[in-house]
């Protein structure tokens, strides 16, 4: 069984944590997580795909084991994340590669595939996000991300995690237990909280321009797959339909019994990724 490896690199002046999977001689696949998540969200998919790819799952600035911003909202921008991505690719000497991005990771993938990495991203998977996010959905996300809870026990934290991320759909017990372990940290008082800097919410509040990327989307030429959770409020059917007709005109696959966002933790979803990335 392939085991993950943790690497810490200097990325645009910040320490970035990257979880590596597989043989460095294989084609490279970058998997980028959502707003308040970490690269470990992709453990199940990365482990399976590492048979064919060298998989890189970074923690975005302010999340997981990566450094936190020094200037708050001024650093929590797609410009910073893009610079860190370029530094990561240089560190690993990556040429062309595939990109799987969930939510924020999908938006970042769009901006990079349309701009500085347009000749290097060969395959782009956009997971449950569109070039603009409905106001009510953005407000809902901002409210829970900007007000992280604190708990006295891991059991209390796990209850909150499962309830908050119920839209992920049906997942195994091992998935949820792993999510608990990779999504929390201790506070300086020994309590339990989420594994991110609360200031990352600035992306939803102060840096809203990062969330409106229609112009970038229309410029994407990479082979693209769009995935939507059937009950998602972040990627409405109307936006998904518009995306099919614009830009890279991707195939749209809807995942049943799931909201925001599909987790790529079961074999069917992993096979979907594998088949697309081999095209």
pLDDT by residue (tens digit) across 177-228?
A: 999 999 999 999 999 999 999 999 987 877 777 788 999 999 999 999 999 9
Q: Rounded to an integer, what distance in angstroms lies between the CA atom of residue 159 and that of residue 168?
A: 15
- Tell me if the domain spanning 5-148+200-277 has CATH number 3.40.50.1820: yes
Per-residue pLDDT at 165: 95
Per-residue pLDDT at 133: 93
Per-residue pLDDT at 211: 82
Q: Rounded to an integer, what distance in angstroms lies between the CA atom of residue 202 and that of residue 272?
A: 33
Going through the chain in order, the beta strands assigned E by DSSP cover 5-11, 14-21, 28-32, 54-58, 97-102, 121-127, 150-151, 184-186, 192-194, 223-229, 251-255
Q: How far is CA 85 from CA 91, 116, 119, 174, in A?
A: 10, 10, 15, 30
Per-residue pLDDT at 212: 87
And the tokens for 8? Answer: 């810490």
Per-residue pLDDT at 1: 65
Per-residue pLDDT at 157: 98
Nearest Cα residue to 277 out of 39, 104, 95, 53: 53
Q: How far is CA 37 from the centre of its chain?
A: 7
Per-residue pLDDT at 161: 97
Q: Could you list the pLDDT tens digit for every one of the 279 residues in the chain?
A: 689 999 999 999 999 999 999 999 999 999 999 999 999 999 999 999 999 999 999 999 999 999 999 999 999 999 999 999 999 999 999 999 999 999 999 999 999 999 999 999 999 999 999 999 998 998 899 898 999 999 999 999 999 999 999 999 999 999 999 999 999 999 999 999 999 999 999 878 777 777 889 999 999 999 999 999 999 999 999 999 999 999 999 999 999 999 999 999 999 999 999 999 999
Contact 28/98 with Cβ under 8 angstroms? yes
Rg (CA), the chain: 17
The torsion region of residue 163 among left (phi > 0), alpha (psi -120 to 50) and beta comes to alpha
Does residue 139 sit in helix, strand or coil? helix
């Amino acid at each position: 069984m392939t085991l993950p490896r943790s690497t810490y690199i200097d990325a645009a002046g910040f320490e970035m944590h990257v979880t590596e999977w597989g043989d460095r001689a294989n084609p490279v696949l970058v998997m980028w997580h959502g707003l308040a998540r970490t690269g470990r969200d992709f453990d199940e998919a990365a482990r399976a795909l590492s048979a064919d790819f060298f998989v890189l799952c970074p923690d975005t600035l302010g999340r997981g084991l990566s450094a936190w911003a020094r200037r708050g909202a001024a650093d929590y921008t797609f410009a910073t994340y893009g610079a860190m991505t370029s530094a990561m690719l240089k560190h690993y000497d990556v040429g062309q590669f595939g990109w799987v991005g969930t939510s924020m990771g999908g938006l970042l993938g769009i901006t990079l595939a349309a701009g500085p990495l347009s000749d290097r991203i060969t395959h782009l998977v956009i997971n449950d996000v569109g070039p603009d996010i409905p106001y009510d959905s953005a407000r809902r996300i901002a409210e829970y991300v900007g007000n992280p809870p604190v708990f006295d026990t891991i059991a209390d934290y796990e209850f909150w995690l499962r309830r908050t991320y119920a839209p992920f759909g049906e997942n195994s017990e091992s998935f949820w237990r792993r999510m608990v372990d990779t999504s929390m940290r201790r506070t300086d008082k020994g309590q339990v909280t989420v594994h991110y800097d609360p200031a990352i919410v600035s992306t939803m509040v102060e840096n809203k321009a990062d969330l409106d990327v229609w112009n970038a989307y229309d410029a994407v030429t990479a082979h693209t797959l769009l995935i939507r959770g059937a009950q998602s409020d972040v990627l409405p059917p109307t936006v998904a339909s518009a995306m099919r007709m614009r830009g890279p005109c991707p195939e749209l696959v809807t995942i049943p019994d799931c909201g925001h966002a599909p987790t790529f933790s079961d074999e069917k979803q992993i096979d979907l990724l594998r088949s697309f990335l081999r095209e």
